């Protein structure tokens, strides 16, 4: 395969080229996102995994849910149809976000990336925008899939939920927004820790374990911490309507999502500062 002759076209380039702009960085990052298999499989897991889990949960819970509704149990909410997305979907979105940068560090590709494009903040911003858009689009498809599939067993028990019910459309779109935000949260954690396993472990522990444990802290501090934990705050926007559970413990939907987005932005800014300062 070796071509033994070294033929290099032309001489040193005359400076006729244009400056590589932010658009070029976005195109390059978009190509990078598309050309690794992990992106494809994570998005498949996000869509298919969420839809399948929503269907299974609703199949298993439809009977009990119908009884609770009939008894007027305030803890029962039709947003159980979205649980697949809030379980598998948020893991997949977070992992995709982490991997988008941590895989570059673990493979060493970051050195090629930064040699080609040393304006580091542009790379971070491009990655964040692309992730948010891609995960929102796939997340929205997954949210509708969860909604319609989860509804099948509920409708069979005559307790189906309609998109026109109060807060439902907001909850479906909100779920997609939440997972999109979560992927950017993962990206920020990846930039901070530069280590796939570390960032995934810490992030998932924060959302699934610590987020619940902080309510054990007594008094108003514990209640406040519970409210502002990223998973708790962000997920409020995915809850359906006025039947939202534990209304006293949580933020209102958009307030929670705003708090979550502020947390993501703060992490991303810290990530950008460290990315700019640290040796690659």
Partner 1 sequence: MIRAVGLTKRYGDRLAVDHADFTVESGTVTGFLGPNGAGKSTTMRMILGLDHPTAGTVTVSGRPYRQLPAPLREVGALLDAKAVHGGRSAYNHLACLATSNRIPLKRVDEVISLVGLDRVAKKRSKSFSLGMGQRLGIAAALLGDPGTLLFDEPVNGLDPEGILWVRNLMKSLAAQGRTVFVSSHLMSEMALTADRVIVIGRGEIKADTTMREFIAQNASTHVRVRSPHLGKLHELMTGTGWQVEAAPDDEDALRVYDVTSDAVGELAGQNGLWLHELAVVQPSLEEAFMSMTADSVEYHAGLGGMEPGASGGSGTDPGAATNTAVAQPGRPNGEAR
Closest CA to 94 of 200, 196, 197: 200
Give yes or no for residue 196 binding partner 1 (CB under 8 A).
Answer: no
Cβ at position 199, least distance to partner 1 in Å = 17
Residues numbered 219 to 248 that lie near partner 1 (CB under 8 A) are none
Q: Which is nearer to partner 1, 26 or 169 (CB)?
A: 26
What are the CA-CA distances from residue 80 to residues 34, 174, 187, 265 (Å)?
32, 14, 28, 29
Give yes or no for residue 129 binding partner 1 (CB under 8 A).
Answer: no
Q: For residue 230, count CB atoms less than 10 angstroms from its CB and return exposed for 0-12, middle for 13-18, buried for 19 or more.
A: buried
Give yes or no for residue 24 binding partner 1 (CB under 8 A).
Answer: yes
Q: Which is nearer to partner 1, 35 or 220 (CB)?
A: 35
**Of the candidate residues 61, 65, 82, 104, the single one contacting partner 1 (CB under 8 A):** 104
**Of the candidate residues 63, 70, 74, 111, the single one contacting partner 1 (CB under 8 A):** 111
Q: Which is nearer to partner 1, 121 or 206 (CB)?
A: 121
Q: Which is nearer to partner 1, 18 or 158 (CB)?
A: 18
**Of the candidate residues 60, 70, 109, 262, the single one contacting partner 1 (CB under 8 A):** 109
Cβ at position 127, least distance to partner 1 in Å = 12
**Of the candidate residues 60, 67, 108, 217, the single one contacting partner 1 (CB under 8 A):** 108
**Of the candidate residues 48, 59, 66, 117, the single one contacting partner 1 (CB under 8 A):** 117
Give yes or no for residue 268 binding partner 1 (CB under 8 A).
Answer: no
Q: Which is nearer to partner 1, 108 or 166 (CB)?
A: 108
Give yes or no for residue 118 binding partner 1 (CB under 8 A).
Answer: yes
Q: Which stretch binds partner 1 (CB under 8 A): 15-23, 60-68, 173-181, 252-260?
A: 15-23
Cβ at position 109, least distance to partner 1 in Å = 4
Q: Which is nearer to partner 1, 7 or 220 (CB)?
A: 7
Closest CA to 170 of 196, 151, 191, 143: 143
What are the CA-CA distances from residue 14 to residues 7, 10, 17, 18 (Å)?
19, 10, 8, 11
Q: Which residues bind partner 1 (CB under 8 A)?
A: 1-13, 15, 17-21, 24-25, 27-29, 31-32, 35-38, 103-104, 107-119, 277, 279-280
């Amino acid at each position: 395969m070796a071509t033994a002759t070294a033929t290099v076209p032309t001489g040193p380039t005359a400076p006729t080229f244009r400056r590589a702009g932010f658009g070029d960085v976005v195109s390059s990052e978009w190509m990078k996102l598309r050309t690794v298999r992990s992106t494809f499989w994570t998005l498949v897991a996000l869509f298919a995994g969420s839809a399948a889990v929503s269907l299974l949960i609703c199949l298993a819970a439809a009977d009990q849910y119908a009884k609770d509704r009939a008894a007027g149990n305030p803890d029962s909410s039709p947003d159980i149809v979205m649980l697949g997305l809030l379980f598998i979907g948020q893991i997949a979105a977070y992992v995709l976000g982490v991997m988008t940068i941590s895989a570059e560090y673990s493979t060493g590709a970051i050195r090629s990336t930064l040699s080609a494009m040393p304006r580091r903040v542009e790379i971070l911003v491009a990655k964040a925008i692309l992730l948010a858009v891609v995960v929102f689009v796939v997340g929205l498809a997954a949210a509708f899939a969860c909604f319609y599939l989860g509804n099948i067993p509920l409708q069979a028990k005559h307790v189906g939920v309609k998109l026109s019910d109060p807060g439902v459309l907001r909850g479906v779109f909100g779920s997609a927004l939440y997972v999109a935000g979560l992927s950017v949260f993962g990206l920020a954690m990846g930039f901070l820790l530069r280590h796939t396993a570390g960032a995934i472990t810490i992030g998932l522990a924060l959302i699934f374990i610590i987020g619940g444990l902080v309510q054990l802290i007594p008094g108003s501090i514990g209640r406040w911490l519970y409210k502002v934990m990223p998973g708790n705050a962000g997920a409020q926007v995915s809850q359906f309507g006025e039947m939202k559970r534990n209304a006293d413990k949580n933020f209102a939907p958009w307030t929670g999502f705003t708090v979550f987005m502020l947390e993501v932005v703060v992490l991303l800014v810290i990530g950008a500062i460290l990315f700019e300062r640290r040796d690659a």
